[in-house]
Structure 1
Amino acid sequence: MKFARRHAERHRTDRIGWMRAAVLGANDGIVSTASLVIGVAAASAAQGEAVVAGVAGLVAGAMSMAAGEYVSVQSQADTEQADLSRERAELETHPVAEHRELAAIYVARGVEPGLAQQVAEQLMARDALGAHARDELGISEALSARPVQAALSSAASFAVGAALPLAVAALAPAQGLIPWVSGTSLAFLAVLGGVAARVGGAAVATGAWRVTFWGALAMAITAGVGSLFGAVV
């Protein structure tokens, strides 16, 4: 008797947490540092001053990203833990009602009522809290909040992203600083958007275009403000 070969499926939901933080950090690193350098250069500052401003922006931005991401994701983790504690208490005090609630969720998803009762009973016998966390609260191991991981990913990716336009600013000819930084930064953004879309299973062209458009807009606005400030001063 031949058995069917197990069908291996590759899903990308387990990448959402770290990929979101990494892409967001790298994108912010490129956009903010390039915009900062361009804005300072547009204000008629010397190349060295623009590079120093970029270095300061890299350090400050990486720390800000880490702190902001940690606080944000930790808040999510606190909410998840509070919901789990509440659910754990309800399972201890009202197990029958919680069983009916879980079965009703499966019925609402299209499972026949009798079968839904059996599924709920078997899942609760094995891991009641896990079943309610997953199917009632929407909390799973793959999507649960990881504050430290998100903070480190954001800070590291921001620093890597910021280093790209900063390196260009340091190596580019002084007279062509703005076009060199803006052009290469848009290319970096396009590659980042395309790679992120590819890893996430989305359309590469759409991801590249979306990131590049908003990056170009940010740089253009910052350059305009820098030119205006330089003219006034």
Structure 2
Amino acid sequence: MATSTWRQRLAASIDPARVRDRVENVNDGILAISGFSEGLSGGGEIANLWSPIVLMAAFAGALSVACVVLSAELANRDAEQLVAAEEQRRSALAPEEQIAELAAHYEGRGVSPATARQVAEELNASDSLGAQLDIDGFDERTTIGGAVSTAVRAALAFLLGASVPILISVATPGVWRDEYTVVAVAAALAVTSVVLARLGHTRIWQTLLRSVFIGLAALGSSYLVGAALL
């Protein structure tokens, strides 16, 4: 009973959408840096610099991911602030219209007109702005601190994925490095595929095979491009 309760609390505290985003960042780190590492394998003259180059690529990739995520989060915050200002202006000018808009929203979702009106009035009385932002698609207030935190978590997730090819580049002999990389990438993608399938309530084997196949195809393409250039 205690174990079941602990699992229920853990499941309730997890936001599946955020976890999916971070798992995708992990996969990006696995594939991007593994592909880069495989591409380098065509150049024997840089064998002694292999590990430092892969490590620098991982940090560069993590920084890029952090910048992209931070930019997206701040853009979302700007849009939210514009909508909030407009909703506050409309609430001051025509509060009854705001209640009617809320009621219409819940009616459109299948709530009876009387119940929708009651819900709209209660939400408007407790948190008018929050209710309006929610129906406009802003279900969570974005702060600068939150945006930075999300960007940092995305970068760390990328580095977690990138650690797979980094460890392979450090721990394996050069003659077997490509083979070990392929096996490690397949294993890592299998783990993340299971996580994604459980969160998305999809078939595990279908998700696993699709992710591993696409990942290895991307890895093979990177190797061919790198071999052609080097």
Q: TM-score, normalised by structure 1?
A: 0.84
Structure 1 counterpart of 2:72, which letter? S
Q: Distance in 1 between matches of 2:160 and 2:42?
A: 24
Q: Distance in 2 between matches of 1:25 and 1:166?
A: 16
Runs of 4+ displaced beyond 6 Å: none
Q: Distance in 2 between matches of 1:49 and 1:86?
A: 56
Does structure 2 conserve the Cα–Cα contact (< 8 Å) formed by 1:39 and 1:222? yes
Figure out how many residues of one structure are paired with residues of the other and give that number. 220
1:184-229 CA distance string (max 9 Å, x none): 1121111122123324544332332333222212211111012212
Q: Distance in 2 between matches of 1:149 and 1:126?
A: 29
Same amino acid, percent of matched pairs: 28
Does structure 2 conserve the Cα–Cα contact (< 8 Å) formed by 1:25 and 1:153? no
- 1:192 counterpart SS class: helix
- Report the alpha carbon displacement of residue 60 of structure 1 after superposing the two structures with TM: 0.5
- Report the alpha carbon displacement of residue 12 of structure 1 after superposing the two structures with TM: 7.8
Q: Distance in 1 between matches of 2:207 and 2:152?
A: 24
Q: Distance in 2 between matches of 1:107 and 1:22?
A: 35
- Report the alpha carbon displacement of residue 44 of structure 1 after superposing the two structures with TM: 3.3
Structure 2 counterpart of 1:197, which letter? A
* Equivalent position of 2:220 in the other structure: 220
Structure 2 counterpart of 1:112, which letter? S
Query: Which structure is higher in helix share?
Result: 2
* Equivalent position of 1:161 in the other structure: 161
* Equivalent position of 1:43 in the other structure: 43
- Report the alpha carbon displacement of residue 53 of structure 1 after superposing the two structures with TM: 2.0
Q: Distance in 2 between matches of 1:50 and 1:60?
A: 15
Does structure 1 conserve the Cα–Cα contact (< 8 Å) formed by 2:73 and 2:142? no
- 2:137 counterpart SS class: coil
1:7-53 CA distance string (max 9 Å, x none): x8955873423x24421221111111111111111233453332222
1:40-96 CA distance string (max 9 Å, x none): 112334533322221111110111111111111211122122212211211111111
- Report the alpha carbon displacement of residue 151 of structure 1 after superposing the two structures with TM: 0.5
* Equivalent position of 2:191 in the other structure: 191
Q: Distance in 2 between matches of 1:48 and 1:227?
A: 18
* Equivalent position of 2:77 in the other structure: 77
Q: Distance in 2 between matches of 1:204 and 1:147?
A: 32
RMSD: 2.3
List aligned pairs for 1:103-182, cutoff 5 A.
103-134=103-134, 136-141=135-140, 146-182=146-182
Structure 2 counterpart of 1:170, which letter? V
Q: Distance in 2 between matches of 1:205 and 1:144?
A: 36
Q: Distance in 2 between matches of 1:44 and 1:140?
A: 52
Structure 1 counterpart of 2:15, which letter? D
- 1:125 counterpart SS class: helix
After the TM superposition, which of the residue ranges 198-207 and 94-103 deviates more from structure 2?
Answer: 198-207
Q: Distance in 1 between matches of 2:197 and 2:149?
A: 21
Structure 2 counterpart of 1:217, which letter? A
